[in-house]
Chains A and B, each alone.
Chain A
Amino acid sequence: MTAALPETGRLAENIAHFARALRRAGLPVGPGRVADAIRAVAAAGFTQREDFYWTLHAVFVSRPEHRTLFHQCFRLYWRDPQFLEHMMSFMLPSIKGVQDDRRAEAGEKRAAQALLGDARPEPPPLPPGLEEDAPEIEIDASATQSAEERLKTLDFEQMSVEEIAEAKRMLARLSLPVKPLMSRRMKGAVTGPRLDPRATIRAALRHGGEVLDLKRQKPRIRWPNLVVICDISGSMSQYSRMVLHFLHAVANQRGQGWARVHGFTFGTRLTNITRHLRTRDVDAALAAAGAQAQDWSGGTRIGASLAAFNRDWSRRVLGQGAVVLLITDGLDRDDAGLLSREIERLHLSCRRLIWLNPLLRWEGFAPRAQGIRAMLPHVDSFRAGHSVASLEALGRVISDAGDGGDKARLMRLMADNAR
């Protein structure tokens, strides 16, 4: 659209200011949208506050989660005719004080900070699990293997600080290769199962309308999404941190194959950390993810968390043949019936469900806990995830649809116990 912007004078200026405030609050508002907004307001007229609200809403909001933020920004910005003057002096500490005293509604804090030009929000304190110098038990391991070899099989829980740092470097190099899926889209191929009539006619025309050979096509391949749901409760914290490192590597390495990597953490409640995983620096990414998930190293409610995932996210992230990696020890004190129902629902909605359980490292692990007994029948594969080597092994088998890990053995054990 190249039409000149309508003359709306101060209103246009105000809208531009408002857009800037929205941008600071985190809405993706570019200059193009500002121009659109001015045109839209000119078209809709400036009669009712409600219409004005929805007009700007139509232009500036493009995701449901932005609605609250928009609402708060709008309320703060247009509430007070004097507000523009306040805007002019938005660095004044007195105004900031007034804003801070009020009880913050959802999104209001971010909106207020954006409007008042406050410096970036203060980073919340690091969760206990993410501090670099977490106390670790040093163990005296025998040096019969090379250092890297030893580290590969060493339990994450028994690593020293230096060993953890080294293991993280090793994890960053690991990959999780994926088997592509058959797409329903076609592409040209010398030998393909399907005829490509369009190309055939074009080729024929080059030879004066004589069909000399038939052009063929075959299905293109496409890559599935990976969804990782990671337990960060107290019993899992060391593993989860390492697995999240691994996950960050998988999410950020180019050419791994996965179309998208979605990350979720849960302890007592479910948190989506996908956005944080995209941060290039792994420590910054995990710190941000940790700050968002408030339930590090707390209790576990697997059933309720999976129910939240099924209700709020499964339809949005499990389409297009996603593979789910569930990382938990399965020690859940809640109702096993709920857990069993929700894990079944999860299993039915995804292409493949792989359960990583660090407890499996123990010799003679048996599915005794009721949570484990409830979940085991509904997963496609059950594997250990306690060391660099086991994650490496995961990389080798994740694309193998037939791999069940230790599931079959444990199911037999369960059946024996029942008898």
Chain B
Amino acid sequence: MSDLPGSIDAVETLLEGEGYVASRALATVVFLSLKLGKPLFLEGEAGVGKTEIAKVLAAALGRRLIRLQCHEGLDAGSAVSEWNFAAQMIAIRAGEAAGRAGVFSEDFLIERPLLAAMRPQPGGAPVLLIDELDRADEPFEAFLLEALSDFQVTIPELGTVKAPEPPIVILTSNRTREVHDALKRRCFYHWVDYPAFDRELAILKSRVPEAAETLSREVVAFVQRLRGEELFKRPGVAETIDWAKCLLALDVIELSPEVIADTLGAILKYQDDIQKLNGLEATKILNEVKKALT
């Protein structure tokens, strides 16, 4: 286990060590969240590295990563804990467990992510990633309030479990609906934006180091230019990385209209967008990009 970073610069170095190039703004919020022990709420378009930050942070700090993927109808049973009913039945039948306290005890409890995050873990308090919170419904959000402000969960039959050391909590949302202010108020908020050219290039270099310099520059410039187009879904950083990997696998050393037409599916995921960009439009953008780079 490594100690928590002591300054914003230290956070930047820590994240960079794991190949995550963070903006100063993001490093500041991460630092504050670690230092003050408050959850971090990240919103932004898909593929800008919201989930990744939790993974990187866990790896860099040597903590366990506990992930809770949200979905509609997510309830306490699958988020906090469940009882092992079969074992309870057998215990009752065998007459081993006498009475209520007997079967509703830790032995019969199945831990789910939220409860696991409240327990002490090897290496120190874990990193709890609550991913895509907007997919869960509002009752679950209300349920989270207790867990996030006091770092404790309540199991009706057993009582309250409080974390001895608060976990590092990161929540992400794609904003398919607005998350309630009561929850946001308990967190540090940050809107993760698409990176600027230099930072995206740095990200690409750290993630796909084997790509040639010219290709990387072209790829990043092209994607950056695409984000300015009227698209239904603008490509994220994840798409940039995927695309660069695709091009590497195809042994491409330079972007050309044919290559773009063949691999457009790696960056654009909607038929309308692909159709819009096929042919002349892509060539035009490519020419502009090449001109700007030289």
Q: How far is the CB of A215 from chain B (nearest CB, A)?
A: 12
Is chain A's binding surface mostly helix, strand, loop or mixed? helix
Mask, A209-224, CB within 8 Å of B = 1, is 1010000000000100
What would be 28 A-B contacts, judged by CB atoms less than 8 Å apart?
A40-B36, A44-B35, A50-B24, A54-B25, A54-B28, A54-B29, A57-B190, A58-B190, A61-B191, A62-B41, A62-B181, A63-B178, A185-B137, A197-B83, A201-B83, A201-B88, A201-B89, A201-B92, A201-B103, A202-B157, A205-B92, A209-B93, A211-B89, A222-B137, A311-B231, A315-B174, A320-B137, A341-B272
Total CB contacts across the A-B interface at under 8 A: 106
- The B165-211 residues at the A interface (CB cut-off 8 A) are 174-178, 181, 184-185, 188-191
Q: Are A58 and B29 in contact (CB under 8 A)?
A: yes
Interface centre among B28, B38, B88, B230 (most CB of A within 10 A): B28
Please give the residue numbers on chain B whose beta carbons come within 8 Å of chain A beta carbons, in ascending order. 7-8, 24-25, 28-29, 31-32, 35-36, 38, 41, 43, 72-73, 75, 77, 83, 85, 88-89, 92-93, 95, 99-100, 103, 134, 137, 139, 157, 174-178, 181, 184-185, 188-191, 230-232, 272
CA–CA, A186 and B76, complex, Å: 11
Name the A residues within 8 Å of B92 (CB-CB): 201, 204-205, 209
Q: Answer whether A43 and B176 are a contact pair too, CB < 8 Å, given A51-B28, A54-B28, A197-B85.
A: no
Q: How far is the CB of A68 from chain B (nearest CB, A)?
A: 11
Choose one: B43, B73, B189, B190; the contact of A183 (CB below 8 Å): B73
Interface centre among A62, A185, A204 (most CB of B within 10 A): A62
Nearest chain B residue, comparing its CB with the CB of A55: B28
Q: Are A198 and B8 in contact (CB under 8 A)?
A: no
Q: How far is the CB of A307 from chain B (nearest CB, A)?
A: 8
Q: Are A44 and B177 in contact (CB under 8 A)?
A: no
Please give the residue numbers on chain A whose beta carbons come within 8 Å of chain B beta carbons, in ascending order. 28, 30, 32-33, 36, 39-40, 43-45, 50-51, 54-55, 57-59, 61-64, 67, 183-186, 197-198, 200-202, 204-205, 209, 211, 222, 307, 310-311, 315-317, 319-320, 341, 345
Q: Are A54 and B24 in contact (CB under 8 A)?
A: yes
Choose one: B36, B83, B175; the contact of A43 (CB below 8 Å): B36
Name the A residues within 8 Å of B157 (CB-CB): 202
Name the B residues within 8 Å of A197 (CB-CB): 83, 85
Name the A residues within 8 Å of B25 (CB-CB): 54, 57
